[in-house]
Every structure is written in structure tokens, then in C-alpha cells.
């Protein structure tokens, strides 16, 4: 195969129109990456996303000459503008208020990849559409998975790792018992979020598997084999990681475990990537297996040259959605008033643990426990986020009590009901969670009331009320962006029944909440 020594750009790219189109293209990608990178910063499952854009360029350089350059498709300027507005503008408008909403991120990325592919064809850059399609497939691995898929996958793998770890500890002579995602050994709790937080490597290894498959030109059989190996490596190496951390915890204590936690985790994470890369190297096709179409060093594209209005059409397709969304949310949205209430836990309130702060990344937070009798107490946790903490506020709202407390061995079920509390004409709604009825035999009842309060209607109803995608989209197009949020978590231990717990909640809220108006 004859490879070109350079990838010269056509003379038309020297025109002002093409340079403006390139500038708006880069602006569109910069805008998208800046919002996706909030996931890379605040969601540990997707830290590999920082490497994906650079590695995508490596794939383009590696695969751009594997196919012959085809004749550009005929498309009119108005079709380009309409395509950009119909695909990019709705996604851009919906994604601006909440960069952590996954649906708009996926649709905007797919739309931008499609329009960018058309741009590469019309600009006559020597990148075949097949190379761009494979690169786009790899780029999708830096996006957050749909919430339901991510939650089921991570929880299932976590449970498997916890089960394998507890069974192995039993074989090693430790009286281990699995409670939820926590392991009890001789009254010592080995929390699975300590022993197995490396389950996040699943997304990293799948991204690496896709990269290696495209880089080594795998066929579909090898591609799916490597994806399977990514899942197995995640399970095996996280099991080894959890077992190692559990052993250190039981033999040396929690202080030593915390000291070695990151080192052990990084070691097994690196080992899993090395193992997957070794599998890819072993099953890679040899040179005599590759059947690549020869590429012409300087292919001549027949047909009429691109119209002068084509680059300006691309500039409009890439630039108008950015300009319109910026204008809409910066100039046309009304101001949002502040909170009309505040929580005061008193002088005996204590700061929240550092581990909780590391996960929730709040700006302020405290807790207070009130003992009411034998084996009866009420604990209030209050934390919140300021206006400039958008990423932390949006990310942490997906941490309900049944999810978080499950990692400490506490099993809760969502009662799917709200408790309304009136304060100064405003209704504060608290979602109720409780110990399952099957667990109450000989165990004190535990009721948890969770309230997440925002100033922005687009996210206020999102947490508690089931709504359609259209309803959510309309919320996101109204009102000034505001990421301020307050969270109240009231845990009631030892109540007689649901009604008794609600009465204690009402009494507690009347003590700690006050109106600011």
C-alpha cells in the first residue's frame, strides 16, 4: 500500500470562508468537550476521558489511509444549515443548563460527529469516512453511560466482587458474612466501597479495548472477544484488589489500609490494563491477514468543486447553535431568587467526615445527633452547594440514601412517597426510605427522610417527580441557571411505625428550620 508522505490541504482552505468554518468547528468541539470534561473531573468512572481526544487523533493518523477517498456527497448549503440547526441546536439548548444530563450529551456528540464527517468530506482533507466513523466510535467511550445501564453494571459487579471476597475470606479462615455490599468479619465491617471502589475500571478497560481493536484493525470476532476480556479483567483484578485491601484491613487495621489504599488500587488498575493490552497483542492480526484496499497518494475527486457558500454554511451549522444558546441563557433568562429558609443545627453540630466530603464535594456541611431514649435517636445531616459549584451539585444529586448507605451494610427501601413540610408558605418535600419489613425481626426500625432542594425548577422536580423527556426539556429552557442546592438527611432510629417517624421528623424540622423572610 502506497502511503502519502503528507496530507496537503486544498487551495480552497486558504479562503476566509473555510477558515471561519474551521474556527466554528473547533468552537463547537471545545464547547462539547468542556461540558463532557465535568464528568471526567467529578465522576471517577470516566477519568480516562482526558486521554480519549488525544488517542482519537492517533487513530485518525493510524487508519486514515486504510480506505480510498471517495467523491464528496452533493449537499446544498441550506441543507447543511438545516442539518446543523435541527441536530445541534436542540441538544445544545437542553445540555447547557445541566451538563450532567446524559441524553443530550450523547445526541449532541453523535450529531457533531456526523456534521464533522460531512465537513471533512467537503473540505477534501485526506481522511476517509470509514476512518472517521471508527474514530467516532472510540470517542463515544468517553461519554457517561446511560444511568440505568451504569447503575446495574456497577452494582452487579460490586456484588459479585463482594461475594467472591467473602467466600475467599471464609476459605482463609475468617468468619466472613456478606451484608449488602459490606463484609462482616468478627464484628468488623469491611465496607465494599473501601475494598472495591476500583470497579470504575470497567469503563476504562472497555474504552481501552475499543482503542486497541481499532488500532490493530481487529475484525468483529476479535473485537467482541477483547470486549469480553475487558469485563473479565475488571472482575478478576477488582476481586484481587478487594481481597488484598480486606486482608490488610483485618490484619493491620484501618489506618494501614487507608495508607496503602491508593497504592494497591493503582497497582491492580495498571495490572488490568497491561493484561488487556497483552491479550490484544496476542490476538492481533498478522500482516498477511490484513486485506486493506490500496490508497492513492493523490486521488483526484471528479465533479464540480465545492460551492463558495459551502464553508459559510458549515460556519452557520457549527456556530449558530453556540451563539443562540449563549444569548438565550446569558441575556434572556430571568433572575432566580434566593432560598427563603435556612437550617441551624446549633452549637453542638459537628463537621461531616472527610470521606463523605470527598464523595459529595459540598461547600458546607454539618451533622447533629439527638438521643431520645434507649436505642432511640435522631440524626440530622445538612450540607449544600454554592452557585459556583455546578459540577459537584449536579453530580451528587444522584446519591440517594438507599444507594449510599447500602455501601455501609445498611439496607433501605424506597417507599416511593413524599412527606410535605410547610415552612413560611413554601412546601419542602422529603422522600421516605425505611428498613425492609423482612429485616425488622429483632432489628430496630430505621426511617430516613431525604430532601434535596434547589432554586432552579429545571432540577427541583427532576429529583422527585416522574416526568417525560419532553417535560424535562421544557424545564431546561426556562429560568436563569442556578446550581445552588441544599440537602437535609434526617435519620430516625427506633421509631414504632411510619406515623411515629413522621411525627418525630416534623418535630425535628420545627427545631432546626427557620424562615429568612
pTM (2 d.p.):
0.72
Same domain, 371 and 258: no
Query: Is residue 133 one of the residues assigned to a domain?
Result: yes
How would residue 494 be classed by pLDDT, with cut points 50, 70 and 90? Answer: confident
* Neighbour-count burial for 22-58, b at 16+ CB within 10 Å, e otherwise: bebbeebbebbbebbbbbbebbebbebbeebeebbee
Least confident of 253-257, 306-310, 337-341, 495-499: 306-310
Same domain, 327 and 456: no
Q: Tell me which residue range forms the domain holding 225.
A: 8-287+304-332
Same domain, 257 and 184: yes
Same domain, 326 and 351: no
Contacts of 137 (CB under 8 A, 6+ apart): 210, 214
Bridge-partner residues for 432, per DSSP?
Answer: 449
Query: Is residue 292 one of the residues assigned to a domain?
Result: no
Same domain, 457 and 394: yes
Same domain, 238 and 308: yes
Q: How far is CA 205 from the centre of its chain?
A: 16
Same domain, 455 and 313: no
Contacts of 367 (CB under 8 A, 6+ apart): 345, 349, 350, 351, 352, 379, 380, 381, 382
Same domain, 196 and 96: yes
Query: Is residue 100 one of the residues assigned to a domain?
Result: yes
3-state helix, strand, coil in the chain (%, to 5): 55, 15, 30
Q: How many CB atoms lie within 10 A of CB 384?
A: 19
Report the distance separating Cα 164 and Cα 148, nearest Å. 24
* pLDDT above 90: residue 294: no
Same domain, 90 and 115: yes
Percent of the chain predicted with pLDDT > 70: 76
Same domain, 315 and 431: no
How would residue 475 be classed by pLDDT, with cut points 50, 70 and 90? Answer: low
Instruction: Report the pLDDT averaged over residues 412-422.
Output: 86
Query: Is residue 281 one of the residues assigned to a domain?
Result: yes
Report pLDDT for 379.
92
* 435 φ/ψ angles, rounded to the nearest 5 degrees: -65, 135
Percent of the chain predicted with pLDDT > 90: 23
Instruction: Please tell me which residue, 318 or 441, carries the higher pLDDT value.
Output: 318
Report pLDDT for 215.
92
Same domain, 371 and 445: yes
How would residue 442 be classed by pLDDT, with cut points 50, 70 and 90? Answer: low
Query: Is residue 470 one of the residues assigned to a domain?
Result: yes
Report the distance separating Cα 246 and Cα 193, nearest Å. 11
* pLDDT above 90: residue 8: no
Report the distance separating Cα 339 and Cα 56, nearest Å. 45
Instruction: Please tell me which residue, 466 or 81, carries the higher pLDDT value.
Output: 81
* pLDDT above 90: residue 476: no
End-to-end CA distance of the chain: 76
Grid cell for residue 124:
477534501
Report pLDDT for 251.
79
The CA-atom distances, in angstroms, between 158 and each of 91, 155, 480 are: 33, 5, 39
Report the distance separating Cα 431 and Cα 429, nearest Å. 7
Q: How many domains does the chain have?
A: 2
Query: Is residue 1 one of the residues assigned to a domain?
Result: no
Same domain, 77 and 18: yes
Least confident of 39-53, 317-331, 434-448: 434-448
Convert the pLDDT of each residue in 155-195 to its tens digit.
788 788 888 888 888 888 877 777 666 677 766 666 555 44
Query: Is residue 3 one of the residues assigned to a domain?
Result: no
Bridge-partner residues for 420, per DSSP?
Answer: 429
Convert the pLDDT of each residue in 257-285 to its tens digit.
777 877 888 888 899 999 999 999 999 88
* pLDDT above 80: residue 320: yes
Instruction: Please tell me which residue, 149 or 77, carries the higher pLDDT value.
Output: 149
Q: How many CB atoms lie within 10 A of CB 297?
A: 11
Report the distance separating Cα 298 and Cα 94, nearest Å. 43
Report pLDDT for 466.
57
- The overall average pLDDT reported for the chain is 79
Convert the pLDDT of each residue in 39-74 to its tens digit.
887 666 788 889 999 999 999 888 877 766 555 556
* pLDDT above 60: residue 248: yes
Closest CA to 452 of 442, 444, 462, 443: 462
Report pLDDT for 334.
60
Report pLDDT for 426.
84
Convert the pLDDT of each residue in 325-343 to its tens digit.
888 877 766 666 778 889 9
* pLDDT above 90: residue 211: yes
Query: Is residue 135 one of the residues assigned to a domain?
Result: yes
Contacts for 439-447 with beta carbons within 8 Å, 24 or more apart?
439/411, 444/375, 444/493, 444/494, 445/493, 445/494, 445/495, 445/496, 445/497, 445/501, 446/410, 446/412, 446/491, 446/492, 446/493, 447/491, 447/492, 447/495, 447/498, 447/501, 447/505
Amino acid at each position: 500500500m502506497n502511503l502519502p508522505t503528507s496530507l496537503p490541504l486544498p487551495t480552497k482552505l486558504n479562503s476566509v470562508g473555510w477558515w471561519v468554518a474551521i474556527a466554528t468547528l473547533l468552537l463547537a468541539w471545545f464547547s462539547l468537550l468542556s461540558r463532557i470534561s465535568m464528568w471526567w473531573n467529578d465522576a471517577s468512572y470516566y477519568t480516562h476521558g482526558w486521554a480519549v481526544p488525544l488517542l482519537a487523533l492517533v487513530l485518525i493518523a493510524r487508519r486514515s489511509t486504510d480506505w480510498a477517498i471517495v467523491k464528496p456527497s452533493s449537499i446544498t448549503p441550506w441543507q447543511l444549515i438545516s442539518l446543523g440547526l435541527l441536530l445541534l441546536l436542540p441538544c445544545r439548548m437542553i445540555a447547557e443548563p445541566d451538563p450532567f444530563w446524559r441524553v443530550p450529551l450523547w445526541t449532541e456528540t453523535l450529531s457533531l460527529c456526523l456534521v464533522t464527517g460531512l465537513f471533512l468530506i467537503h473540505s477534501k482533507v485526506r481522511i476517509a469516512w470509514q476512518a472517521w466513523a471508527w474514530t467516532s466510535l472510540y470517542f463515544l467511550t468517553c461519554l457517561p453511560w446511560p444511568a440505568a445501564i451504569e447503575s446495574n453494571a456497577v452494582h452487579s459487579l460490586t456484588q459479585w466482587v463482594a461475594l467472591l471476597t467473602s467466600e475467599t475470606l471464609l476459605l482463609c479462615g475468617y468468619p466472613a458474612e456478606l451484608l449488602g455490599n459490606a463484609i462482616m468479619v468478627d464484628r468488623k465491617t469491611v465496607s465494599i466501597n473501601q475494598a472495591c471502589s476500583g470497579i470504575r475500571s470497567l469503563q476504562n478497560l472497555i474504552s481501552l479495548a475499543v482503542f486497541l481493536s481499532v488500532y490493530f484493525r481487529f475484525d468483529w470476532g476479535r473485537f467482541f472477544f477483547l470486549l469480553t476480556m475487558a469485563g473479565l479483567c475488571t472482575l478478576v483484578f477488582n476481586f484481587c484488589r478487594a481481597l488484598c485491601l480486606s486482608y490488610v484491613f483485618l490484619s493491620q487495621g484501618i489506618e494501614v489500609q487507608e495508607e496503602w489504599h491508593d497504592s494497591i488500587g493503582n497497582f491492580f488498575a495498571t495490572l488490568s490494563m497491561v493484561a488487556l493490552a497483552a491479550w490484544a497483542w496476542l490476538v492481533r492480526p498478522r500482516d498477511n491477514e490484513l486485506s486493506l484496499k490500496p490508497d492513492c497518494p493523490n486521488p483526484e475527486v471528479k465533479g464540480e468543486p465545492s460551492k463558495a457558500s459551502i464553508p459559510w454554511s458549515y460556519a452557520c451549522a457549527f456556530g449558530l447553535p453556540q451563539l443562540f444558546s449563549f444569548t438565550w441563557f446569558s441575556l434572556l433568562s430571568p433572575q432566580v431568587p434566593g432560598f427563603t429558609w435556612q437550617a441551624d443545627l446549633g452549637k453542638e453540630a459537628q463537621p461531616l467526615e472527610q470521606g463523605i466530603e470527598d464523595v459529595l464535594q459540598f461547600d458546607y456541611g454539618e451533622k447533629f445527633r439527638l438521643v431520645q431514649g434507649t436505642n432511640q435517636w435522631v440524626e440530622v445531616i445538612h450540607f449544600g452547594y454554592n452557585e459556583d459549584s455546578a459540577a459537584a451539585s449536579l453530580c451528587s444529586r444522584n446519591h440517594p440514601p438507599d444507594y449510599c448507605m447500602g455501601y455501609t451494610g445498611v439496607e433501605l427501601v424506597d417507599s416511593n412517597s413524599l412527606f410535605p413540610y410547610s415552612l413560611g408558605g413554601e412546601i419542602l418535600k422529603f422522600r421516605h426510605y425505611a428498613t425492609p419489613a423482612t429485616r425488622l425481626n429483632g432489628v430496630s426500625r430505621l426511617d430516613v427522610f431525604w430532601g434535596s432542594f434547589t432554586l432552579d425548577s429545571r432540577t427541583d422536580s427532576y429529583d422527585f417527580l416522574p416526568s417525560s423527556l419532553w417535560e424535562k426539556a421544557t424545564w431546561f429552557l426556562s429560568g436563569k441557571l442556578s446550581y445552588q442546592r441544599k440537602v437535609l438527611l434526617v435519620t430516625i432510629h427506633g421509631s414504632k411505625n411510619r406515623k411515629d417517624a413522621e411525627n418525630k421528623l416534623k418535630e425535628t424540622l420545627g427545631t432546626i428550620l427557620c424562615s429568612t423572610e
